[in-house]
Structure 1
Amino acid sequence: MRAHEAGALHGDIGHRGPAWLRPPADVNALVPQLWPRQVERGAHGALTVAGLDVRELAAGYGTPAYVLDEDDLRSRARDFRDAFPDVDVYYAGKAFLCRAVVRMIAEEGLHLDVCSGGELATALSAGMPAERIGFHGNNKSVAELTRALDAGVGRIILDSFTEIDRLTALARERGVRPGVLIRVTVGVEAHTHEFIATAHEDQKFGFSLAGGAAAAAAFRVIDEGVLDLRGLHSHIGSQIFDTSGFEVSARRVLALQAQIRDARGVELPELDLGGGFGIAYTTQDDPSPPAELAKRLRKIVDSECAAENLAVPHLSIEPGRAIVGPAVFTLYEVGTVKDVDGLRTYVSVDGGMSDNIRTALYDASYSATLAGRASTAEPLLARVVGKHCESGDIVVKDEFLPADVQPGDLVAVPGTGAYCRSMASNYNHVPRPPVVAVRDGRARLIVRRETEEDLLALDVG
């Protein structure tokens, strides 16, 4: 058991808070980098977003609800597009995908990365041009690959020798030459949670660089001559703030590119550096703006290409969380407030791990604020928990809320745009929340709330 977990069991973290967490000077204050850019606390004390009062949103759409600031999402998409003007920016749909978001991304000039047949179907149904879609996944089925080929998907990222053979056979049958990239496992351990670090050797994704599988995969594709090998792909993890990992990854991938050139006389024209750019979930997070990321990544690639005597390839990146994560907050209603023998105060809300599994799954940290009103009460260190039948059903591990927080209050948790709705479940048969997009003083439903009828409709026994 990790030390901080042991402390949590004995209540000392709940009583005093972690070392970095101290009572705020103003419990009503908002930390700007944690929230969509149009969120503020109005004169009446309640939060507003895009000119809309969260109390009105709660009354109109219910709680819990994901609230998406459309202008914020579009602005962050443009920030990446403008910072990387000659780079293909692929929005990573796994962070959050629905047809409305596909249209927003397409309208802002981005490409789209999908990793399942369902995500591909969503993209195509929303009108995303197939040539601007990339298809990831470590176990793409014959049906998924067939659909990708028939739709004319722009690129398919190969993840195994089985997939190379599978796609080669399908492409040969159809007389097509799809563009492909080889996903390379570069052995870089990103500074992130074990289960979201994706470039170390002991994991399911990609071809091992150290073991020679990546080179062998590239040689097989080139020698078969059926698939159009455009380049290499590397993704080192998620929620990354330090570009040093990208530097090591680029060095190793470009060394492989040079090896392929020397062995087969082919200089691959593209390189995908992946995504994983971090966002601020708490005041301890300090993400770099896209312009700074672009400057650092360009410097890394230029330097490594010069060292290998390679032409600088056409680059692509795959931000997902960095675009949609900060653009969304989740709005909850407090149901109970329970003080446990002076050790910890539990503030229970009407959602939980069914709408945000990340705290339980990754030990992720979040922030929260009283959203429906301001308060002059002293700050109280609380744990925001859900309504599910699990002791690990925690939304925010430690946060200062006003000591007068009470049933019926609204609480908002920022930074929930990425993976929360995507990973949402029906645990305890709880219907999943809606997604409400707000813009210019108007709200619209882009994903409706599930109902008990929806749940029962699947039960055919």
Structure 2
Amino acid sequence: MPTAHPSGWAHADGALRGPHWLREPSDPDALVPLLWSRTATKSDGVLSIGGVPLPELVREHGSPAYVLDEADFRSRARAFRDAFADYDVFYAGKAFLCTTVARWLAEEGLSLDVCSGGELAVAERARFPMERVGFHGNNKTLGELERAVELGVGRVIVDSFTEIERLADVAAELGRTVGVMVRVTAGVEAHTHEYIATAHEDQKFGFSIASGDALEAVRRVHAAPSLRLLGLHSHIGSQIFDTSGFEVAARRVLALHARAIEEVGVEMPEMDLGGGFGIAYTTQDDPSDPAQLATEITKIVEHECRALEIALPRLSIEPGRAIVGPSMCTVYEVGTVKDVALDGGARRTYVSVDGGMSDNIRTALYDADYSATIASRPSGGPPALSRVVGKHCEAGDIVVKDEFLPADVRPGDLLAVPGTGAYCRSMASNYNHALRPPVIGVRDGKTFTVLRRETVADLLATDVGVL
């Protein structure tokens, strides 16, 4: 009988059994198109993005580096804009934001969600239309609220009774009227990691529908002369692959919308369903395309509105990961390769690269799965079960937990990991005093720097200790 291995695998008769989705490939050097940006190609073992071979990119810009495919990003943004043509599509800036991306979004006709003063500053620097900006966050500072009101952001998503009072006071002092959405928790159990499920009751975001706090928040916003009640906001989590959770959430949020008409005497013109649409990190993932999502979500909302006999509000969604996630990959250089014996006689190859948890914390934080491929040469080696790890002083410094790489992987090879556009650079750190990698854009065979590589001077600039 197989016995459990600490890594989550099982072994019997000396054979290693992986998760159901991990199967030894016939060609470990081939690309799986679903995992990569749309311009990714591989020729004679060399991976190119946007017409730029990654070995050339690394020679010019060094490694590790995030590689951002402009054509892919824009096409995914347009796909959501067009599929949800009757909606307001807000890009979730927390996934990845910089002035270049903000300008692309503005040019493609999307709106923008920010959740901090820093993200708002990026939008301002990019001259993003402020009427198309929404400001999220469960604990916005007084200074952040003041700046948002001064700039004229289109909507502030309030998250507490304290914030309603604070925002009303700020708006009144500045002589402004501010559009407000009330974030509610619908009590939906999203099928995702605990840390990125956001609609259950026991967490920090929003006003509970079940407790009555959400309806009370609607009353208070409606009663404040300096606030303009736009509607309800719901977000059930991230990396979600079906619309069943959205169906339950929409039913509960629309029921609250109807109660507000009856009990508060206000018919809110808008409703935001949030985002969280999943992408493919490995071959086990099967994301929906924007057109399918739009059809299913619209059908759900229209059905509920008919049942409640209420008008259909103006709807919003908030894709972030679904746009930028597949548009970026990370390229590393292999430093060391180590063959490790496992229980039962099986073996695993540890492939160490020149980055790690400082440029991709998601594997350690969320137990996230990723894929990888050799990007710099052809390989005739047979598939070998491998684990891609970083250079940090942590046993949990894992980039890719399990992947079949060619058995002849060696120091100096370039290794590319797809799907790193969302929450990798935006959550990057200087752990072990690592320098955060650059984001290099690619387009039509050329590269351009989106975010430059940090330097030692950058690292020491805030260290004001006396020698």
Matches within 5 A, 1:179-190: 179-190=179-190
Contact kept in structure 2, 1:14 and 1:383, CA below 8 Å:
no
Moved more, 70-79 or 214-223: 214-223
2:408 is aligned with 1:404: yes
Q: Report the Cα distance in structure 2 between the residues aligned to 1:11 and 1:196, rounded to whole angstroms.
A: 32
Partner amino acid for 1:409?
D
Tell me which residue corresponds to 1:420: 424
Contact 1:11/1:343 (8 A) holds in 2: no
Identity of aligned residues (%): 67
* Cα distance in 2 for residues equivalent to 1:110 and 1:5: 47
Change (3 A) 1:32 1:14: farther
Tell me the amino acid that sits aligned with residue 23 of structure 2.
Answer: R
Establish whether residue 348 from structure 1 lines up as the match of residue 349 from structure 2: no
Residue equivalent to 1:275: 275
Contact 2:10 2:17 in 1 (8 A): no
Which string of whole-angstrom CA distances, capped at 9 and with x for unpartnered residues, describes residues 189-223 of structure 1? 10000000000000000001111110010011112
Cα distance change of structure 1 residues 29 and 416 upon mapping to structure 2, 3 Å threshold: same
Conservation of the 8 A alpha-carbon contact between 1:14 and 1:344 = no
Q: Deviations over 1:352-374 (max 9, x none)?
A: 00000000000000000011112
Q: Could you tell me how far apart the structure 1 residues matched to 2:11 and 2:451 are?
A: 39
CA apart distance, 1:20: 2.4
Rounded to whole Å, the distance in 2 between the matches of 1:144 and 1:424 is 23
Matched residues in 2 for 1:355 and 1:23: separation? 28
Identify the residue that residue 376 of structure 1 maps to in structure 2.
380
- Aligned partners of 2:9 and 2:19 also within 8 Å: no
Aligned-partner Cα distance in 2 for 1:242–1:10: 30
Closer, same or farther: CA 259–70 of 1 in aligned 2, 3 Å: same
Q: Distance in 2 between matches of 1:249 and 1:228?
A: 24
Superposed, 1:5-20 pairs within 5 Å as 6-8=6-8, 15-20=16-21
1:45 shift after superposition: 2.0
The separation in 1 between residues aligned to 2:15 and 2:247, in whole angstroms, is 39
Structure 1: which 5+ residue stretches go unaligned? Answer: none
| Equivalent residues of 1:47, 1:54 under 8 A apart | yes
The C-alpha deviation readout for 1:12-47, integer Å capped at 9, x for no partner, is: 9994432321111111111101000000112x3201
Deviation at 1:345, TM superposition (A): 1.3
CA distance in 2, matches of 1:456, 1:295: 51
What is the deviation of 1:344? 1.9
Distance 2:407 2:317 in 1: 45
Q: CA deviation at 1:173?
A: 1.1
How far, CA to CA, are the matches of 1:137 and 1:410 in structure 2?
39
- For 2:365 and 2:441, the matched residues in 1 are separated by 27
Instruction: Provide the secondary structure at the position in 1 that maps to 2:325.
Output: helix
Amino acid at match of 2:448: R
TM-score scaled to structure 1, two decimals? 0.97
Query: What is the distance in 2 between the residues matched to 1:156 and 1:422?
Result: 22
The number of residue pairs the alignment matches comes to 458
Q: Give, in whole Å, the separation in 2 of the partners of 1:76 and 1:266.
A: 36
**Contact kept? 1:366, 1:414, Cα under 8 Å:** yes
Which one-letter code corresponds to 2:433 in the other structure? Answer: H
Q: In the alignment, what sits opposite 1:257?
A: 257
Per the alignment, residue 127 of structure 1 pairs with 127
Q: What is the one-letter code of the residue matched to 1:224?
A: A
Give, in whole Å, the separation in 1 of the partners of 2:447 and 2:4.
41
- 8 A Cα contact 2:364 2:397, kept in partner: yes
Counterparts of 1:12-31 in structure 2, within 5 Å, are 15-31=16-32
Preserved contact between residue 10 and residue 18 of structure 2 (Cα < 8 Å): no
Q: Is the 8 A contact 2:198 2:237 kept in 1?
A: yes
CA 294–23 in structure 1, closer or farther in 2 if over 3 Å, else same: same
Which digits, 9 at most, give the CA deviation of each residue in 1:320-361, with x for residues without a partner? 000000000000000000011253210000000000000000
1:328–1:415 Cα contact (<8 Å) kept? yes
Indicate yes or no: 2:151 matched with 1:157: no
- Please, what TM-score do these two structures have when normalized by structure 2? 0.96
The answer for unaligned runs of 5 or more in structure 2 is none
Distance 1:184 1:440 in 2: 44
Aligned-partner Cα distance in 1 for 2:361–2:406: 25
Match of 1:72 in 2: 72
In the alignment, the residues of structure 2 paired with residue 184 and residue 278 of structure 1 have an alpha-carbon distance, to the nearest angstrom, of 22
Which residue is equivalent to 2:39?
38
Aligned-partner Cα distance in 2 for 1:215–1:4: 49
Match of 1:199 in 2: 199
Whole-angstrom distance in 2 between the partners of 1:191 and 1:27: 30
Q: CA–CA distance in 2 between the matches of 1:166 and 1:416?
A: 37
Q: Deviations over 1:76-95 (max 9, x none)?
A: 00000010111100000000
Give the 3 Å change call, closer, same or farther, for CA 9–354 of structure 1 in structure 2: farther
Aligned-partner residue type, residue 218 of structure 2: A
User: CA 1:78–1:191 in 2, change beyond 3 Å: closer, same or farther?
Assistant: same
1:127 Cα offset (Å): 0.9
Partner of 1:329: 329
Q: Is the 8 A contact 2:326 2:419 kept in 1?
A: yes
